[in-house]
Amino acid sequence: MNPKFEFTDSIKKALYYMIGIGVLGLLLVFFLYRENNHARFWSNILANTYFFTGIGLFGLFLVAAAQVAYGQWHTLVKRIFLSLSVFAAFGGFILLIIVALGLVNVHNLYAPVTHILHTGQGDPIYTTKLIYFAPAFWLGRLLVYSILWFLFSRGMNNFFARTDQTDPKVYKKSRIISAAFIVVFALTESFISWDVVMSLDPHWYSTLFGWFNFASYGCAALGMSILIIIFLKSKGYLQAVNENHVHDLGKLLFGFSIFWTYLWFDQFMLQWYANIPEETSFWVKRFDVGYFKFTIFLTLIINFAYPLFLLISRGSKRNFKTIGFGAALLIFGHYVDFFNFTFVEPNWNTEAVEAHKEAKLSTENVVLYAQAQQNENAVSDATPVKENTEVVTTAVEKTEGEVHHEEAPVNYAGIGVGELMVFIGFLGVFLYLFFNNLSKRPIMPEDDPFLKECERLEVTYA
């Protein structure tokens, strides 16, 4: 017997509560943080939409990659991966709307770009990107990504639900569709990271940023899949799935965690060593604020230390409690990583930046050449944002005993109760779309030619 998942009222009710918590979180963020409520509100929407869209896209990638490689290990959980993608079918359009609203100054997330677009002048780094950030080209790219993700999500969910998968012609067609998606994923995954995240600070460059996001998507998507599989088994579904299949997912989770760490170190070490302003500006801004310096290394501990020391053993990958805890921890760790990418630039007290620049450049305590360049760039980045009015003053002695007050830029971002509530709300939306899609067809793909082989899967190594 191959039952469909029953999307019960109790599960729906729990998800409605989660979504309600998210709505309250957005209201809390908007009304509680008076200094930067508008920027923090939109930063939450951007970070969560981007995070869960990436999880959905990687679900499709897992199916496509295994299909092209004649893989059998994923057959029993193929529908789980496919259902992850439903959020991505809509997430692209939400990201498009966020950027469009930024271009008409509804929010300040992309203020550095819109400033130069509106004034037509600025430093050379901006002007070389004017073509890339031309509104029509920018929004046009995002629209193309969104349409492609929607079509592939709907198309692959419907196609792999066909009951004639054992037909060689049908199976061959599934591999062609999968290969096409891998090409689309490789291009759009990198471009979307540049278009909606790296563009928050157009001065910053990273040649492996797309790969870094890919690794983070992978860890979060695999962690989400493991948690959902454990949940479904607790409800009596996926009886054929055992510790061997979860073990395989655990190995992938471990592998992508190490891959993410390699890219993290590669990006940080090479940019620090080269000391090029357009690269080190990202780190200088975050290391100047103790909160962000802490969260950067917190993510390194969570996303690397846990898999290295606790997930590396065979037993931990076969123990549902251990692997479940690790999956949840890594999902949160990678959310914090995306928080560090998306919250910093929009949440500065921009009215203090210009005054702080002169005092900063007049000292000899600049550790990096990039720091001087960054403070200079901050002036052109800054736009008048009325909501950021708090000024931190420090007394600086001048000649003849004269004292003046230096306006020091302050970053108001942080992971508070509001951010956690918003994350829970987006998770509720993600799971609602997931379970709703999963309930439309049988969970187990009985017609798959690799089904019997997958059921006999036995992992005999670490």
| Same domain assignment for residues 364 and 434 | no
Q: How far apart are CA 450 and CA 70, in angstroms?
A: 9
pLDDT at 399 (0 to 100)? 39
125: amino acid identity, one letter: I
In this predicted structure, the answer to whether residue 390 has a pLDDT above a threshold of 60 is: no
| Same domain assignment for residues 354 and 206 | no
In this predicted structure, the answer to whether residue 120 has a pLDDT above a threshold of 70 is: no
Range of the domain at 362: 349-410
Residue pLDDT, tens place only, 45-96: 999 999 999 999 999 999 999 999 988 888 889 999 999 999 999 999 999 9
Between these two residues, 132 and 390, which has the higher pLDDT value? 132
DSSP 124: H
| Same domain assignment for residues 432 and 401 | no
Residue 24 lies in a domain: yes
| Same domain assignment for residues 439 and 406 | no
| Same domain assignment for residues 374 and 403 | yes
| Same domain assignment for residues 371 and 449 | no
Count of domains forming the chain? 2
**Three-state secondary-structure class, residue 289:** coil
Nearest to 59 by CA among 260, 176, 175, 226: 226
Residue 270 lies in a domain: no
> 425 near 383, Cβ under 8 Å?
no
Residue 108 lies in a domain: yes
Q: What's the token pair of residue 242?
A: 């055992």
| Same domain assignment for residues 155 and 21 | yes
| Same domain assignment for residues 122 and 75 | yes
Stated pTM of the model: 0.86
**In sequence order, what are the residues at sequence separation of 6 or more whose Cβ sits closer than 8 angstroms to the Cβ of residue 50?**
91, 95, 192, 196, 197, 338, 342
Q: What's the token pair of residue 168?
A: 């060689």
In this predicted structure, the answer to whether residue 218 has a pLDDT above a threshold of 70 is: yes
| Same domain assignment for residues 380 and 430 | no
Dihedral pair phi/psi, residue 397, rounded to 5°: -75, 140
| Same domain assignment for residues 447 and 358 | no
Question: How much of the chain exceeds pLDDT 70, in percent?
Answer: 84
| Same domain assignment for residues 359 and 450 | no
Q: How far apart are CA 39 and CA 37, in angstroms?
A: 6
> 213 near 54, Cβ under 8 Å?
yes
CA angle 26, 32, 38 (to 5 degrees): 60
| Same domain assignment for residues 378 and 432 | no
pLDDT at 436 (0 to 100)? 95
Residue pLDDT, tens place only, 424-433: 999 999 999 9
pLDDT at 264 (0 to 100)? 93
Residue 384 lies in a domain: yes
Residue 232 lies in a domain: yes
